[in-house]
Amino acid sequence: MTETHVYTCRYCRHASDPTARSCVRCGAPVDVRAAVSTSGWQRQEPITDMARIQFGQSYVQVEGVQVPVADFALANGDRIYFSHHSLLWTDPSTRLTNMGLSGGWKRVMGGLPLFMVEAHGPGHVALSDNHAGDLVCLPLDHGQQIWVREHRFVAATGNISYDWTSTGVWYTTRSGDETETHYPLGRFGDVFTAREAPGLLMLHGPGNTFVRDLAPNEPLLIQPSALLYRDLSVGTHLHLEYPRGSGGFFLSSYSYRNVWLRLVGPGRVAVTSVTEHPEQSNRIVRSSYATSWRW
């Protein structure tokens, strides 16, 4: 009698083949021990070089490790969409078209180009990002949604719809008579939904990527620009922290304040190790809902 093992990929949370070298749904290696920090962060293992990820009748092969290339082999009738900035090479036989302008306003608001490109199979088309980091593949089940930070999108299968949403995370600073509004998480985020069937979403995380599953009401503070994606069940708001002893003649309490993004479970969050420098600080006069702490 043959014993049947049920294997759930710890990265994409889908049933997968335990005998394969890499998960057929997301490309993560199967045969490695999870690298989990004592605090609970799990390293998103880079997709194995030359791993194939199946979607529909098509697949994508990931080549390289430093700035990996996603080489899509599209079957007849399958399509993906992406920004032309990501295009590295294509077969002449692969049909490239512009996406319809419907939804263009959403794309512009969400930080995506107005003119997106669709590649239609059969044929090959290859994409890469311009930064060292990881490609992250997220297979989405029918009806599943995921929130993604703007400018992290690489490609999605044609059946994944795109929408944008306001992040609702902002603060206004004042310097003299001038006020400025800051959006540490970006003004808008992207929401991808697998509408009619399962689909594949591909992101690029600069540096290394780490994931963590938050328990209900479990809070966590992160650098806002580190967030790569999150389940929609994870709440987000600002948290302002003022270290003790930072007052004085030259130093105001806001000079050393920290602007955190406070995440509240339940759900999965992913962060990248490369972040953007926080903007220069002035006194915060207004903000979206924020918790605060003074040491």
Partner 1 sequence: MERIACEWCRVQNPPGSTTCQTCGAPLDERNKVSDSGWREAPRLRDMTEFRFSGSVCQVEGELVPVAELALAPNDWVYFEHHVMLWKDERVPLSQMQTGGGFRRMFAGMPFVLSVASGPGRIAFSRDAPGELVVLPMPPGVEIDVREHAFLLAAGSVSYSFVRIKGLANILHGGNGMYLDRFITQQYPGMLMLHGNGNVLERTLRPGEKILVEPGGLLYKDASVQMQAVQQDLKVGLVRKLYLAEMTGPGRVGIQSMYVHHRTG
Task: Report yes or no: 54 and 25 within 8 Å, Cβ to Cβ.
Answer: yes
> CB of 136: closest distance to partner 1 in angstroms?
16
Rounded-to-integer distance, Cα 179 and Cα 177, Å:
7
Q: For residues 224 and 278, what is the distance between their CA atoms, to the nearest angstrom?
A: 9
Residue 30 CB, nearest distance to partner 1 (Å)? Answer: 19
Sheet holding 95-98, edge to edge: 95-98, 117-120, 79-82, 153-157, 199-206, 133-140
Whether residue 220 contacts residue 212, with contact meaning beta carbons closer than 8 Å, is answered with yes
Instruction: List the x/- string, 22-51, binding to partner 1 by CB under 8 A.
Output: ---------------------------xx-
Alpha-carbon distance of 36 to 6, in angstroms, equals: 22
Instruction: Kindly tell me which of 66 and 217 has the beta carbon lying closer to partner 1.
Output: 66
Contacts (CB under 8 A) with partner 1, residues 85-124: 85, 87-92, 96-98, 113, 115, 117, 124
Query: Between 87 and 109, whose beta carbon lies closer to partner 1?
Result: 87
Cis peptide before 92 (omega within 30 of 0): no
Specify the stretch interacting with partner 1 by CB under 8 A; choose among 24-32, 81-89, 152-160, 253-261: 81-89
Confirm or reject binding of residue 126 to partner 1 (CB under 8 A).
yes
Using the contact rule CB under 8 A, the part of the chain among 31-39, 84-92, 139-147, 171-179 near partner 1 is 84-92
Residue (100 or 176) nearer to partner 1, CB: 100
Q: How far is the CB of 80 from partner 1 (least distance, A)?
A: 14
Residue with tokens 């990248």: 272
Contacting residue, 22, 44, 61, 236, with partner 1 by CB under 8 A: 61
* Other C-beta atoms lying within 10 Å of the C-beta of residue 33: 6
Site for partner 1 contains 68 (CB under 8 A): yes
Asked whether position 17 contacts partner 1 by CB under 8 A, the answer is no
Instruction: Give the C-alpha separation, 106 to 192, whole Å.
Output: 12
Question: Shortest Cβ distance from residue 264 to partner 1 (Å)?
Answer: 36
Cα–Cα distance measured from residue 208 to residue 254, given in angstroms and rounded to the nearest whole number = 31
Nearest distance from residue 204's CB to partner 1, in Å?
11
Among residues 11, 22, 71, 269, the one that binds partner 1 under rule CB under 8 A: 71
DSSP state of 251: -
Smallest gap from Cβ 209 to partner 1, in A, equals 17
Residues 130, 34: Cα–Cα separation, whole Å: 28
State in angstroms the smallest separation of the CB of 65 from partner 1: 7
Q: Scanning the structure block, which residue is given the tokens 């903000």?
A: 287
Residue 250 CB contacts under 8 Å (≥ 6 apart), including other chains:
none
For residue 108, what is the enclosing H or E element?
helix 104-109
In the complex, least distance from residue 188 CB atom to partner 1, rounded to whole angstroms: 21
Residues that bind partner 1 in the complex, under the rule CB under 8 A: 49-50, 52, 61, 63-69, 71, 73, 84-85, 87-92, 96-98, 113, 115, 117, 124, 126, 128-132
